[in-house]
Structure formats: C-alpha cells, structure tokens
Amino acid sequence: MKKLDYQYALKSDCEFQFSISKRTSRIIEIDINDLDSDIDIDTGDYTWLLEFHYHSNHKKRLGVISFLNEEHNFLPISNNQYFEANQQGIRYLNLTDVKLDENLSFSYRYCSIGSEIKLLGFKKPPLIDGPILIIAPHADDAELAAYGLYQDFSENVWITTVNAGHNLQKLSHQYIEGLDDNISDATKRKAKIRAWNSMTTPLLAGVDFERLSYLGYFGIAKEDLYKVEDEPRLDKVAGHLPSMTYRKMNTISLPNDSLQKNTGSALIKDLVSLIEQIKPTTILVTHPEVDPHHEHVVAAHATAIAINQASYMPKRILLYVNHLRDNKNFPYGPEHVRTALPPWYTAESVIGSFSCYSHSLNLETQKNKVIALDSMHDLRSKARLEKKLKQWWSKKVIKSGFNYYANHNYFQTHVKADELFFVVSHDDFNKLITEEIIL
C-alpha cells in the first residue's frame, strides 16, 4: 500500500472542520446542520472540496465514493467520484453544486474514509465580468480542459492555438493511411489539418469564428523566450514548416502575420497584441508546474511574459492541466463521473498560493464535449485487438461502467461532470518570470 498525500499551495476562502456523525459498513453521514457560519454554503457562489483521509481496500479496483439521497438511494453516475487503487493519503471530494443544507450521506466501495474531514470553500470567479481568452498550446487542449466552460460562456470567449502540433513519429501514423508517401509531406499536412481543427471545433459550442485564431509556432523552447538571441527554429523533418500560412483563416491581425518568424520573441509579441486587442478579464492557460508537456510549459511562460509587457492587465489567470507526470488515467473512473484536483504532491509553488474553481457540466454538455473531441483528428486513434478485448472485458464482464465512446484515452478521462482550474492573480502568475530570471 503506497501512502501519498495530495498537496497543493491552496488558499481557501473558508474552512470548516467536521467529524463523521454516523458510520455503517458501507455508508457514512456528515451533519452539515452543525455548521456555525455566516456563509450560506448552499449557494452556488463557491467551489467546495471535502478534504479527507483516503484508504484503498483493493490492489486493483479503484475506490469509489457516491453521494446518496435522504433514503440512502444512489443518485446518477455524476454523483460518483473515483480514487486510486492500492493507495492511501489525503484526497479531495468535489462537492460543488451539491445540496449542502442538510446531512450528507456517502456510500463507499473498495476504500474507507477517515473520521476527520475538512470542508474547503473557494469563492467562484465572476467570469461574466469580461472577455475570456483561452490559450491552447495545441488544437484539442482547449476542448479537453474547458469545453464545458467555453460553451457556457461562448458569447464572450476567445480561443487562440499556439502550436502547429505537426509532429509525426512515423509515416504510418498519418491520419489517413497511405495519403502521403513521405514523412515531410505528411508532417505538413498534419499541421494543416490541426490548424483547421482549431478553427472549426469551437463553432460547435457557439464561439464565433471571428474570436478564433491560430498562430502556427513549432519547436519553441523555454530558453527562446528569455535569451537575447532570436534565432528561428526549424523543423527537423520539414525545415521551415509553412504552418503560419494558415493564419489567413484569422480575422484578427497580429504582428507576425507578414513576417512569419518562428521565434520566441515573435510568439510573445503576438500574445501581447491579442491581450491588448481583446482585453480579457480572464485568461486560461496551462499550469507551468503541474502540466509537464514542454510546449505547454512554453505557452504558460510566454503568456506570463506577454501579460507583463502588455498595456492591459487581466484580473485573473485560470490554470488547467491536460498532461500529468507518469499518469495517463486521471481523472479516474468512467465517463460522466465527478472529479477534483489532479495528483500533486508539494505544497510549494513558484507562483505562490492559488484558489480553485470547479465548473460543472450537465450531461448534455458532456455529450457535446464527446462530439467536440471526436472532431479532433489527433484523438481518432485506432484500437488494437488487445485494447478492444480489454474494453469488452471491462464493459461486459467486470461491468466497470465505462462507455468507451472512442479509442483514445482522453474520451474516458476528460468527459467528466467537472472541469477543474487553479486560479491566480496576474501579479502572482508573473512570478514565473522573476523566478526564471533569478535562475
């Protein structure tokens, strides 16, 4: 049994300590009525997380905690949340938009819950207070992290995709088998298709075409953002990849449209221009510490530098995570269940403490998200026989609850009832730059 406590640089707006008031072999109750607080915890103004000590009781099966109604009957699948098998430690149960004006009842399987628990409240950011700019490192990142959010705020959302996302390891991996007979042509075609994906999929959510943009950078490293030299990056296969020519789809004008320089400084200038033209009160970008993908890290640093240079400052930054170190299975459990913060094990952060925001997705929005993910060519993976057999065994024999809408793992992990974000101010986010200069 591995002991791992989830730890973050979290700063809640309110905290309440509880004890379990009633416990049976499979059910626990928490008496919310005992709460002595001036805060109306049953309003939708807060993201609520329940911090508790989790203990798995099975080496292979995921632990599952389910909300029950007053008669202790099970609620829909969106009231289930799954946790690691064969682990123990501090975990977080997402209670956002759950009725909290009475006793809470939970059922638990393949796990147990410690007696001491803590309710953490985070004031929800007023996202209706201005434009929202989503910075996606690649086509599909905005959809994976925030499709539900950007559908709900579609009239005020802008999305820009930073990278060409053209990398092709083998000719056999091109989207349509046999379409191109050399890796250079196939690489260029993949860049073109992903540009088209980034500029069309958000239309499904009602985001106007005029508020979408594609930048087409590739191979930019973090040092390209900070060093004095400004040498263009070339692709190892295609040389000067013509991905920026697809900017002709953009309706917004940017500094690098005519120059088409593939450099760190050009990327920063484009982001500065976007910020100054859009004037977003909220910016969404990848978390530079928790999400380890190198182009995701570059997108976060480039955004921080651009915010620092721009004449306009956003009110808040929402950080999202699409990749995790050594973990491709989070968020855990079948499609449509609940989820909370990703696995992370340090309470220190370069950007200081941060808040948390959980955006709830109803079932119809989750189904729309499945369609959006299916529209992305890069998520249309081909299932090997072994994988098909595992999926059949999981559905028919184990009865795991998975639907397996498609073969790519993201269709299981990212079609959930919640989308989670870390929330920081622009001043705290700019600490990234200070830290990098010091190093």
Tell me how far apart the 2 most distant CA atoms of the chain are, in Å.
Answer: 70
Instruction: Tell whether 117 and 203 lie within a shared domain.
Output: no
State the DSSP code for 22. Answer: E
Residue 135 · residue 306 · CB < 8 Å = no
pLDDT tens digits along 230-267: 888 888 877 778 889 999 999 999 999 999 999 999 99
Helix, strand, coil share (%) of the chain residues, nearest 5: 30, 25, 45
Which of residues 123, 154, 181 is at a domain's end?
123
Instruction: Tell whether 417 and 334 lie within a shared domain.
Output: yes
Residues 166-194: b if buried by 16+ CB within 10 A, e if exposed: bbbeebeebeeeeebeebeebbbbbbbbb
Query: Domain limits at 412?
Result: 129-438
pLDDT mean over 46-70? 92
Instruction: Tell whether 109 and 142 lie within a shared domain.
Output: no
Which of residues 89, 123, 157 is at a domain's end?
123
Q: Where residue 69 sits, what CATH number does that domain have?
A: 2.60.120
Given a cut of 70, is residue 35 above it in pLDDT?
no
pLDDT mean over 340-364? 95
pLDDT tens digits along 396-423: 877 888 889 999 999 999 999 999 999 9
Instruction: Tell whether 103 and 139 lie within a shared domain.
Output: no
Domains identified in the chain, total number: 2
Given a cut of 90, is residue 310 above it in pLDDT?
yes
Residue 365, classed as helix, strand or coil, is helix
Q: Quickly list DSSP for 61-86.
A: SPEEEEEE-TT--B--GGGEEEE-TT
Instruction: Tell whether 44 and 101 lie within a shared domain.
Output: yes
Which of residues 123, 156, 182 is at a domain's end?
123
Instruction: Tell whether 239 and 191 lie within a shared domain.
Output: yes
pTM beyond cutoff 0.85? yes
- Which pLDDT score, from 0 to 100, does residue 73 have? 66
Q: From the CB of residue 263, how many other CB atoms can be counted at a distance below 10 Å?
A: 19
Instruction: Tell whether 217 and 313 lie within a shared domain.
Output: yes
Q: Which structure tokens are listed for 212?
A: 């979408």
Q: Residue 325: CB partners within 8 Å, gap ≥ 6?
A: 292
Given a cut of 80, is residue 382 above it in pLDDT?
no
Instruction: Tell whether 45 and 192 lie within a shared domain.
Output: no
Given a cut of 90, is residue 11 above it in pLDDT?
yes
CA distance 182 to 97: 52
Given a cut of 60, is residue 439 above it in pLDDT?
no
Beta-sheet pairing, 132-136 with 157-163: parallel
Instruction: Tell whether 133 and 113 lie within a shared domain.
Output: no
Instruction: Tell whether 106 and 146 lie within a shared domain.
Output: no
Q: Would you call 155 exposed, middle or buried from its count of C-beta atoms within 10 A (0-12, 13-18, 19+)? A: exposed
Sign of CA dihedral 133, 135, 139, 142: negative
pLDDT tens digits along 109-161: 999 999 889 999 999 999 999 999 999 999 999 999 999 999 999 999 999 99
Instruction: Tell whether 244 and 330 lie within a shared domain.
Output: yes
- Which pLDDT score, from 0 to 100, does residue 8 have? 96
- Which pLDDT score, from 0 to 100, does residue 437 have? 58
Q: Where residue 212 sits, what CATH number does that domain have?
A: 3.40.50.10320
Place of tokens 């059910």: 27
**Local confidence band at 74 (pLDDT 50, 70, 90 cut-offs):** low
CA distance 418 to 428: 25
Residue 32 · residue 103 · CB < 8 Å = yes
Q: How far is CA 251 from CA 21, 209, 275, in A?
A: 59, 8, 15
CA distance 371 to 151: 13
**Local confidence band at 280 (pLDDT 50, 70, 90 cut-offs):** very high
Instruction: Tell whether 46 and 192 lie within a shared domain.
Output: no
